[in-house]
């Protein structure tokens, strides 16, 4: 219990404590109490406990007693001593609930009443009705308006004889509804409102209960016990002692004495005027209260525990002690909460209210996106942490897929394996002697290097769900047939023979080329589809990294999608065009390697034929393999048909190799690199400053505008920061 003896002297209190109390009041006025707990005195009780009479005794004001004007919102009563004033001055204002709309908040803040020191009963009733209207509360039955409000009515009472004190009165709890005025929801709402104030760990609860009832059964006492088990911040106020049954007075007095000696804040007994006395304006409630105290057995109650004056002194002592104890931590919490609120607002990014702000945001995203793209294409992966994601290493992904495509086409692009060399050593020596342009393994060698017998898919990258309609689904690529190319060529030649002698119809090569390259479309379409998937996934990931907002990046993708799909279709179209040229067009090349390859094929055949007639001649230094001059001839005793088939095979083999190399280069350079990766119209370049500048205001809002929840959160944080900054200033003045 904090007694008068434990508090500082009145003189010291008046010198030091008013400033602290005023700062706390300013924090309430700035709505700082919405964000952190503030030291406060809260009057709680039910609607019939005598709360209004206690407040009348404290304020010397006549509170309305009409059931329709009972406390339907919290009321903050601030007492301040001002020696510059000759008489009491009262001003009234409203502290709006922070969750209200801007218009309602402004309307309530603009409402003020000054000169209320002459506030009589009728004037008070009129003012309360006006407050109800400003707060939008119900004024008649079934008008659809709420009965209670979370806004706060503020009464500031200044005068030369006032003590520094602040008290908050909250609506009285009740259990029964009033038809047409209160509902079960109102019962819950009021109880929750009261609990919110009581749960404030810095609140001193003034629990008002009538002395003429069984105190142990009072709901407000139980609520106070639940939130404050030790009773360290619960000051109990007993009212209506004049209504206590004869013989029960000593029980009430013993309760007061026992509780005031157990270290808790204890009890204060207050005797208010009865209804008949209230109607007689000549009666002074303080005098009547003192006269009651002088009647037995109430004389047993100590002076510091009896009457409105003792209550006021006790309240001041308790509040001063609480504010002194908590002031430093309140200041720290204000600064901490302000810092956290600013950080939350900063995490929402720049404002996106106007079209200019939205455009500026998108241009910043464009700049970052283009930087990421440039770094990804130059394989400069060390500059950003985001490149730890393999999906953003675009250059590496493309180069790897290019290589896989070239290898797959080399190993399995042909339907039939070309004839192998009979003399393997000679063949290997010949391969090793090829020029630099021919150093990669030849078509026939590719077959011997391929050991995989199972088929594999033409697609190597997971499908993009939003592109499945335009991309190749992927199909199995079977190994090439290892035997039978000569018979196959012979059959096609036999079916297409004309009157040629020693040669063949030139259109036959087109037919053979188209059939031999039957797997090219599947491999090429799978390859281009994979590059498109890589590019599209990169764009999605890079946009997300650049915007740091999944909703904005997805909206950008959505608006870009038509142009992206068109760009992807162009790449697919170029691939189809190149396939048409290589497979259905007239076989043509100016590359001299066609003749080089053809000559090598014929030389290999000639060497293989001579090898059968070669023999070893001993020599002084080393043995030599020789062929008789008479055995050097091309005659192999084969028919004209077989000779022509062999010639067709060699020409097809030589041209196929040139065509395959040309096709791989063209697909990689034109269809993918130009149209998908580095070209001037590559998909990554669609998202540009020009694209942003062409957006309409509606499109800017669609992409960069904030959703309603984020707008509300931003507005709430701005208000919170403003309130906390004002509160911090109040703490420093």
Highest mean pLDDT among 42-51, 176-185, 391-400, 493-502: 391-400
Least confident of 156-160, 528-532, 638-642: 638-642
Q: Per-residue pLDDT tens for 297-337?
A: 999 988 888 999 888 888 888 888 888 888 889 889 999 99
Determine contact, residues 591/662, Cβ cutoff 8 Å.
Answer: yes
User: Mean pLDDT for the chain?
Assistant: 82
pLDDT value for 70: 56
Pull the structure tokens for residue 637.
């005793």
Distance CA 363, CA 689 (A): 6
Task: Give the mean pLDDT of 513-534.
Answer: 95
Q: Rounded CA gap, 516 and 541, in Å?
A: 40
- The DSSP 8-state label assigned to residue 502 in this structure reads S
Q: What is the dihedral of CA 573, 579, 580, 582, to 10 degrees?
A: 150
- Render pLDDT for 243-273 as a digit per residue (tens, 0 to 9): 888 888 888 888 888 765 555 788 899 998 8
Dihedral (Cα; 674, 675, 680, 685), 10-degree rounding: -130
DSSP three-state, residue 477:
strand
The answer, yes or no, to whether residue 228 has pLDDT greater than 80, is yes
Q: Which helix (H) or strand (E) is 105 found in, with range?
A: helix 102-110
Nearest alpha-carbon partner for 365 in 713, 46, 3, 703: 703
Mean per-residue pLDDT for 439-445?
A: 41
Among 128-142, 414-428, 538-552, the range scoring the smallest mean pLDDT is 414-428
Instruction: Give the pLDDT mean for 185-203.
Output: 86
**What pLDDT shows up at residue 250?**
87
Domain residue extents for the chain: 18-341, 358-421+456-590+641-704
Give CA separation, 91 vs 26, 78, 86, 146, in Å: 15, 10, 16, 26
Round the CA-based radius of gyration of the chain to a whole number and report it: 48
pLDDT at 13 over 50: no
Count other C-beta atoms under 10 Å from residue 175's C-beta: 9
* Residue 174 near residue 67, CB atoms below 8 Å: no
Report the SS3 class of residue 708. helix
Fold classification of 18-341 is: Rossmann fold (3.40.50)
Q: What is the pLDDT of residue 64?
A: 62
CB 318 within 8 A of CB 234: no
Q: Could you tell me which residue, 436 or 314, shows the higher pLDDT?
A: 314
Specify whether the backbone of 638 is left (phi greater than 0), alpha (psi in -120 to 50) or beta: beta
**From CA 720, how far away is CA 487, in angstroms rounded?**
87
Provide the pLDDT for residue 174.
82
Strands (E), 141-214: 152-159, 165-169, 203-210
Express as a percent the part of the chain with pLDDT over 70.
87
In which residue are the tokens 């029964």 written? 176
Higher pLDDT, 190 or 62: 190
End-to-end CA separation in angstroms for the chain:
32
Output the pTM of the full model. Answer: 0.62
Dihedral of the CA atoms 173, 177, 183, 189 (nearest 10)?
10
Cβ neighbours, 10 Å, residue 324: 16
Mean pLDDT of 601-620: 73
Q: What local confidence, expressed as pLDDT, does residue 316 receive?
A: 82
pLDDT (0 to 100) of residue 261: 53
How do residues 67-86 score in pLDDT, each as one tens digit? Answer: 444 577 888 888 777 888 88
Helix (H, G, I), strand (E, B) or coil at 438: helix
Say if CB 79 and CB 162 are below 8 A apart: yes
pLDDT computed for residue 609 by the predictor? 67
Residue 635 has pLDDT above 90, yes or no: no
Residue 673 burial class via C-beta count within 10 angstroms: exposed 0-12, middle 13-18, buried 19 and up: middle
pLDDT at 431 over 50: no
What is the CATH number assigned to the segment(s) 358-421+456-590+641-704? 1.20.120
The angle at the Cα of 431, spanning 430 to 435, to the nearest 5 degrees, equals: 100
Tell me the pLDDT band of 426, cut-offs 50, 70 and 90. Answer: very low
Q: Mind listing the pLDDT tens digit for each residue in 659-669?
A: 999 999 999 99
Is pLDDT at 177 greater than 80 in this prediction? Answer: no
Q: What is the pLDDT of residue 262?
A: 58
CB 372 within 8 A of CB 542: yes
Could you tell me what percent of the chain has a pLDDT over 90? 30
User: Residue 633's pLDDT is what?
Assistant: 66
Confidence of residue 8 (pLDDT cuts 50, 70, 90): very low
pLDDT at 175: 79
pLDDT of residue 339: 94
H-helix or E-strand spanning residue 387: none
Return the residue matching tokens 């390697």.
593
Measure the CA–CA gap between 561 and 577, rounded to whole angstroms. 24
* pLDDT tops 70 at residue 141: no
Give me the pLDDT at residue 438, please: 38
Intrachain domains 18-341 and 358-421+456-590+641-704 with the same fold? no
What's the rounded Cα separation, in Å, for the pair 287 and 282? Answer: 11
**Cα-based distances in Å from 643 to 187, 486, 502:** 107, 11, 8
């Amino acid at each position: 219990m904090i007694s008068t003896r434990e508090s500082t002297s009145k003189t010291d209190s008046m010198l030091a404590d008013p400033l602290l109390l005023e700062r706390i009041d300013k924090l309430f006025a700035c709505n700082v109490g919405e964000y952190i707990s503030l030291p406060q005195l809260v009057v709680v009780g039910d609607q019939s406990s005598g709360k209004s009479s206690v407040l009348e005794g404290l304020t010397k004001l006549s509170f309305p007693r009409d059931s329709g004007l009972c406390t339907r919102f919290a009321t903050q009563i601030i007492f301040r001593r001002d020696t510059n004033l000759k008489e009491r001055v009262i001003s009234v204002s409203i502290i709006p609930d922070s969750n209200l709309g801007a218009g309602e908040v402004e309307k309530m803040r603009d409402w003020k009443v000054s000169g209320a020191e002459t506030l009589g009963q009728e004037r008070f009733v009129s003012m309360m009705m006006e407050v109800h209207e400003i707060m939008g509360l119900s004024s008649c039955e079934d008008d659809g308006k709420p009965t209670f409000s979370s806004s706060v009515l503020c009464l500031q009472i200044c005068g030369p004889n006032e003590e520094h004190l602040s008290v908050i009165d909250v609506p009285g709890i009740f259990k029964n509804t009033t038809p047409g005025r209160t509902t079960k929801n109102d019962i819950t709402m009021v109880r929750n409102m009261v609990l919110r104030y009581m749960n404030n760990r810095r609140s001193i609860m003034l629990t008002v209960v009538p002395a003429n009832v069984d105190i142990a059964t009072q709901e407000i006492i139980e609520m106070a016990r639940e939130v404050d088990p030790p009773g360290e911040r619960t000051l109990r106020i007993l009212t209506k002692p004049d209504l206590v049954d004869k013989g029960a007075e000593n029980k009430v007095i013993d309760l007061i004495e026992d509780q005031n000696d157990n270290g808790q804040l204890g009890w204060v007994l207050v005797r208010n005027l009865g209804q008949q006395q209230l109607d007689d304006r000549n009666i002074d409630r303080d005098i009547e209260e003192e006269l009651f105290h002088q009647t037995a057995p109430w004389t047993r109650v100590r002076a510091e525990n009896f009457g409105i004056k003792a209550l006021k002194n006790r309240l001041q002592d308790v509040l001063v002690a609480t504010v002194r104890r908590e002031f430093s931590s309140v200041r720290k919490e204000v600064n901490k909460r302000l810092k956290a609120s600013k950080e939350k607002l900063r995490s929402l990014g720049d404002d996106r209210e106007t079209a200019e702000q939205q455009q500026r945001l998108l241009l910043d995203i464009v700049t970052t996106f283009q930087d990421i793209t440039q770094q990804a294409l130059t394989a400069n992966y060390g500059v950003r942490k985001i490149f730890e994601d393999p999906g953003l290493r675009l250059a590496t992904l493309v180069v790897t897929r290019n290589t896989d495509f070239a290898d797959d086409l080399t190993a399995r692009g042909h339907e039939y394996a070309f004839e192998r060399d009979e003399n393997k050593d000679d063949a290997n020596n010949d391969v090793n002697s090829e020029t630099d342009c021919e150093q990669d393994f030849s078509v026939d060698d590719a077959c011997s290097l391929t050991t995989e017998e199972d088929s594999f898919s033409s697609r190597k990258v997971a499908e993009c769900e939003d592109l499945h309609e335009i991309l190749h689904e992927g199909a199995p690529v079977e190994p090439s047939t290892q035997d039978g190319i000569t018979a196959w060529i012979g059959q096609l030649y036999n079916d297409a023979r004309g009157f040629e002698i020693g040669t063949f119809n030139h259109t036959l090569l087109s037919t053979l080329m188209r059939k031999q390259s039957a797997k090219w479309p599947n491999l090429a379409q799978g390859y281009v589809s994979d590059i498109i998937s890589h590019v599209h996934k990169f764009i999605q990931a890079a946009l997300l990294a650049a915007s740091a907002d999944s909703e904005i990046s997805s909206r950008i993708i959505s608006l870009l999608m038509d142009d992206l799909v068109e760009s992807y279709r162009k790449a697919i179209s170029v691939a189809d065009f190149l396939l048409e040229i290589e497979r259905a067009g007239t076989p043509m090349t100016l590359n001299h390697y066609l003749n080089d390859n053809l000559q090598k094929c014929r030389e290999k055949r000639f060497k293989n034929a001579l090898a059968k007639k070669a023999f070893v001649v001993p020599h002084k230094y080393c043995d030599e393999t020789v062929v008789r001059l008479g055995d050097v001839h091309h005659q192999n005793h084969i028919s004209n048909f077989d000779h022509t088939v062999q010639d067709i095979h060699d020409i097809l083999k030589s041209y196929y190799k040139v065509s395959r190399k040309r096709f791989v280069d063209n697909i990689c350079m034109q269809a993918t690199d130009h149209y998908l990766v580095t070209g001037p119209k590559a998909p990554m370049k669609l998202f540009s400053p020009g694209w942003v500048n062409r957006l309409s205001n509606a499109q800017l809002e669609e992409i960069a505008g904030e959703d309603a929840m984020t707008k509300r959160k931003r507005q709430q944080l701005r208000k919170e920061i403003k309130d906390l900054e004002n509160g911090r200033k109040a703490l420093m003045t």
